[in-house]
C-alpha cells in the first residue's frame, strides 16, 4: 500500500536542484524524488542519506561520474 512521505526543512538549494533535475527528466518533483529514493534502496550498497543528498547536489554532473563516485570499481 502506498504511503505519503513528508520532507521537512529541505534546504532551498536542494529543492532548486531537484526541480531542475525533475524538469530535465520530464517528470513532476515528487516522481523525481521517488526515482532517486528507489534507486538508492535498490543499490547493492546501502547509501546513507548524506550520499543520496550528495548525488542530488551533483545532479549536474554526468550520471556515469555520479555512479563511479558512489560505486567505485575497486571495491
The whole-number pLDDT of residue 50 equals 81
Q: Which of 51, 41, 50 is nearest to 72 (CA)?
A: 51
DSSP state of 46: P
Tens-place pLDDT, residues 2-54: 889 888 998 899 999 999 999 999 999 999 999 998 887 886 767 778 877 78
pTM of the shown model? 0.56
The whole-number pLDDT of residue 64 equals 63
How would you class 65 by CB atoms within 10 Å of its CB: exposed for 0-12, middle for 13-18, buried for 19 or more?
Answer: exposed
Percent of the chain with pLDDT over 70: 76
The whole-number pLDDT of residue 26 equals 96
Q: Is the pLDDT of residue 63 over 90?
A: no
The whole-number pLDDT of residue 60 equals 61
Q: What is the rounded CA–CA span in Å between residue 9 and residue 48?
A: 18
Amino acid at each position: 500500500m502506498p504511503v505519503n512521505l513528508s520532507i521537512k526543512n529541505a534546504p532551498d538549494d536542494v529543492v532548486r536542484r531537484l526541480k531542475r533535475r525533475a524538469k530535465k527528466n520530464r517528470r513532476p518533483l515528487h516522481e523525481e524524488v521517488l526515482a532517486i529514493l528507489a534507486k538508492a534502496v535498490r543499490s547493492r550498497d546501502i547509501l546513507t542519506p548524506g550520499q543520496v543528498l550528495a548525488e542530488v547536489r551533483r545532479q549536474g554532473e554526468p550520471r556515469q561520474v555520479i555512479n563511479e563516485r558512489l560505486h567505485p570499481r575497486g571495491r
